[in-house]
């Protein structure tokens, strides 16, 4: 008998408990920077050194953190289910925890790409500086989807979500588009579990919605244990 398909959508709240800063603070600033300065093609064109150093700091931070109980629990789900994780996060904590099928909607910190050929992608864990180029001499940039850029993995993510027997949403407010639109691709009677300590959606907003008002590292292991035992 084929395993049931579980699709998991994860966002910043998933990684916050590992010590990674979430995307923006209350003022809309990201680590003290206007987001458009450090996460847009215009920002990169205007001050590439600032943008490269911003992501170098994020990369160095990622080298010093570990997956939390939430990440580890999702990896455990693969024992009993066919699991796909669709994440807004640019860290690799799901992979470090052992999850084998992870789709990154917004790119990956440990990868860089050519500024000319977006399909020329390299693994990269050290600092990236001006003068680091592909073999054709084109500057490399972070492999991150910036504001105003296409989300190339969105179509893949939608196709995966259409196959869900169960949908789990962790650490994302369901207000960040286009990721939030994925919930509408699930088949009609799919049970949806929403793990969030301060949920901003109500049980009545979606059919078959179960809200678990806990953090990622508390709520995820509990739900995983329940699903595996059932």
The residues carrying an active-site annotation are: 106
Residue 36 buriedness (CB in 10 A; 0-12 / 13-18 / 19+): middle
CB atoms within 10 A of CB 65: 15
């Amino acid at each position: 008998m084929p395993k049931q398909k579980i699709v998991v959508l994860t966002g910043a709240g998933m990684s916050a408990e590992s010590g990674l800063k979430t995307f923006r603070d209350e003022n809309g600033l990201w680590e003290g920077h206007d987001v458009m300065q450090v996460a847009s093609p215009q920002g990169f064109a205007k001050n590439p050194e600032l943008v490269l150093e911003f992501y170098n700091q994020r990369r160095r931070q990622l080298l010093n953190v570990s997956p939390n109980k939430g990440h580890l629990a999702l990896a455990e789900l693969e024992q009993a289910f066919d699991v796909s994780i669709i994440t807004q996060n640019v860290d690799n904590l799901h992979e470090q925890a052992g999850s084998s099928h992870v789709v990154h909607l917004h790119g990956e910190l440990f990868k860089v790409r050519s500024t000319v050929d977006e399909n020329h992608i390299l693994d990269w864990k050290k600092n990236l500086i001006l003068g680091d180029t592909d073999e054709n001499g084109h500057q490399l940039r972070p492999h991150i989807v910036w504001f105003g850029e296409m989300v190339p993995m969105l179509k893949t993510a939608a196709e995966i979500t259409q196959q869900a027997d169960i949908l789990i949403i962790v650490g994302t407010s369901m207000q960040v588009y286009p990721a939030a639109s994925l919930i509408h691709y699930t088949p009609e009677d799919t049970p949806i579990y929403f793990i969030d300590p301060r949920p901003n959606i109500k049980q009545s907003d979606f059919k078959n919605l179960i809200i678990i008002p806990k953090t990622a590292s508390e709520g995820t292991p509990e739900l995983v244990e329940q699903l595996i035992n059932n």
